[in-house]
Each structure stands twice: as structure tokens, then as C-alpha cells.
């Protein structure tokens, strides 16, 4: 299964350096590792702001491409710029978000447990118990704002979760990851290899990897520049993933072919995940 992630929030677009906050980096690293162990992959990461139409456009785009699963993080709080419910409602097209009995019960229970009064009808706080018509609420394990899930035709399943990591990660693992595991054939026995090549250019490495993939079509490979030093990349990093049963032969094929390149030095490791460890 290929999963797409959408992060919502103007604050995520304001860093001039383009670096996500550390808590977001940590969450994405955990989600990527979970997906990899499940035999799935993160196919796309999109960041959108809080303005009207931005999230709706990203969801329509995902559905038009036939994305299998999309997870949205953020925009479910009580403030004026938490617009995820409204954006989703505009995409589903069945009306504005309204209080959902289950979501409101969860919200009231959480407020009571914290010694807080129930929200005033129509208040910003009450919105955390609202859901777009056509979507089903998803319980928030550690926080107050309910998530929700829905399907966009023809085949895109969407989950919307809070953007706070301590709320989003437990919900991802409780409600979404089991779906990803089932759609990906269970906790498959898979392998992942990382190979570092120095002394040759990326364009010289690429044909070697292409030939490997022709011989092992069930594997996937990424080629990346690495080891930036004084405005030059000193190495090429190859990441190979797929069924671990093919890895001993594929890994040996790859490293042997790379070592035959004039001037190349090669080092790498591979490991199994899922059912095999």
C-alpha cells in the first residue's frame, strides 16, 4: 500500500530554511518506519497552509491520482485557523460540519475528566466534537479533538488526525496502521539495503541500478547524492527495498557490479524487517 501524508498549518511553511520543526521530523520518522515494517511505503508528503481551499485542493488531487490512503495531520483544534473540518466538508459535499453524537460524547468525557465545564453551543471549543457529514469520527486516544475518516471516489481512503504528535502517533498506530498492514499483505518479511558508493558520479551509478531492477523487478531502489562537503557531494547513496528472500542475491549482484566501476569504492549493509525480524 502506498500512503500519502498531508501536513496542515501556515507555521510549517514559514521557516525560510524549509526545515520542519523537530517534533514533525520525529513524527514523520516514526510513521515512515511503521509503514516500512508493514511492507508499505510513504509515496508523497504535502504541506499546505490554513487558507481556504488549500487542503481541499490537495485532497481532490490525491483522489484524482487514485491514491490508496491519505493521512492528514493538523487543523482540528478550536481556533479560527483550524479549518480541516470545513475543507473536508467542501470536498465531500454533504454540508457543513456539525456536532457528531459520538465525537461530542468523547469530548465531554475528556472535559469532565479534566474538571472542565462542557463547551457552549456554537463555541470554538465545541467544534472539536464536530464532524463533516459523510465522515465517521475517530476517537482521540490522548486528546480532546476527534479525528475522522471518509472515502473519496474512486478509491481513496482518508484519515484526518490532530497535528500534535502525542495525539497523532497513537491514533495512527491504533486505527490506521492495522489497515495499512492488512492492505500490504501483513507484516511482510522484507529487506532494506543501503549502499554507499564513492569515487564515481551519480550518472555512472544509475545504469547499474537500472540493470539490477530489470533482473529483480520486485525490488525498489532510490539513488541519492550524499556526503556534501565544500559544495560537492562526495558519495552516492543507494537504498534498495523489497522481499528479503531476494536480497542476498540482489545485494551481491549490486555491490559486485558497482565495484567493477573504475575508481569506485563500495560499502553497504542490509537488514530484514517484518516477519523475519
Does residue 5 have a pLDDT over 70? yes
Cell of 57: 485542493
- How much is the average pLDDT of 205-227? 92
Whose cell is 471549543? That residue is 125
- Using alpha carbons only, give the angle 163, 11, 104 rounded to the nearest 5 degrees: 35
Which helix (H) or strand (E) is 267 found in, with range? strand 265-273
Domain boundaries in the chain?
2-183, 190-276
Superfamily the domain 2-183 falls into: MoaB/Mog-like domain (3.40.980.10)
Residue 242 pLDDT level (bands cut at 50, 70, 90): confident
What separation in angstroms does the CA of 230 have from each of 9, 18, 82?
34, 21, 43
Query: Model confidence over 45-59: pLDDT tens digits?
Result: 999 999 999 999 999
Domain covering 190-276 assigned CATH 1.25.40.420 in the classification: no
- Count how many Cα atoms sit within 13 Å of the Cα of residue 105 in the half-sphere of its side chain: 5
Query: Model confidence over 78-121: pLDDT tens digits?
Result: 998 999 999 999 999 999 999 999 999 999 999 999 999 999 99
How far out from the chain centre does Cα 249 lie? 30
Task: Quote the longest CA-to-CA distance of the chain.
Answer: 73
User: What percent of the chain has a predicted confidence (pLDDT) above 90?
Assistant: 70
Amino acid at each position: 500500500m502506498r500512503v500519502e501524508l498531508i501536513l496542515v498549518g501556515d507555521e510549517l511553511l514559514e521557516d525560510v530554511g524549509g526545515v520542519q520543526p523537530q517534533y514533525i521530523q520525529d513524527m514523520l520518522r516514526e510513521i515512515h518506519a511503521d509503514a516500512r515494517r508493514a511492507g508499505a511505503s510513504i509515496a508523497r508528503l504535502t504541506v499546505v497552509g490554513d487558507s481556504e481551499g488549500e487542503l481541499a485542493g490537495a485532497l481532490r488531487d490525491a483522489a484524482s491520482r487514485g491514491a490508496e490512503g491519505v493521512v492528514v495531520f493538523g487543523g482540528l483544534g478550536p481556533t479560527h485557523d483550524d479549518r480541516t473540518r470545513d475543507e473536508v466538508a467542501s470536498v465531500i459535499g454533504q454540508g457543513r460540519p456539525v456536532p457528531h453524537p459520538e465525537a461530542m460524547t468523547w469530548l465531554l468525557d475528556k472535559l469532565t475528566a479534566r474538571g472542565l465545564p462542557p463547551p457552549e453551543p456554537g463555541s470554538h471549543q465545541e467544534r472539536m466534537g464536530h464532524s463533516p457529514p459523510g465522515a465517521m469520527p475517530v476517537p482521540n486516544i490522548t486528546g480532546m479533538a476527534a479525528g475522522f475518516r471518509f472515502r473519496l471516489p474512486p478509491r481513496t481512503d482518508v484519515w484526518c488526525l490532530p497535528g500534535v504528535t502525542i495525539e497523532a502517533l497513537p491514533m495512527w498506530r491504533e486505527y490506521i496502521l492495522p489497515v495499512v498492514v492488512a492492505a500490504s499483505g501483513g507484516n511482510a518479511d522484507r529487506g532494506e539495503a543501503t549502499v554507499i558508493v564513492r569515487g564515481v558520479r551519480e550518472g555512472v551509478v544509475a545504469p547499474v541500478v537500472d540493470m539490477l531492477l530489470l533482473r529483480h523487478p520486485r525490488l525498489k531502489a532510490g539513488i541519492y547524492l550524499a556526503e556534501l562537503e565544500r559544495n560537492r557531494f562526495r558519495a552516492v547513496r543507494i537504498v534498495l527495498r523489497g522481499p528479503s528472500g531476494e536480497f542476498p542475491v540482489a545485494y551481491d549482484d549490486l555491490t559486485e557490479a558497482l565495484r567493477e566501476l573504475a575508481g569506485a569504492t563500495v560499502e553497504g549493509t542490509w537488514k530484514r524487517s517484518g516477519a523475519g525480524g
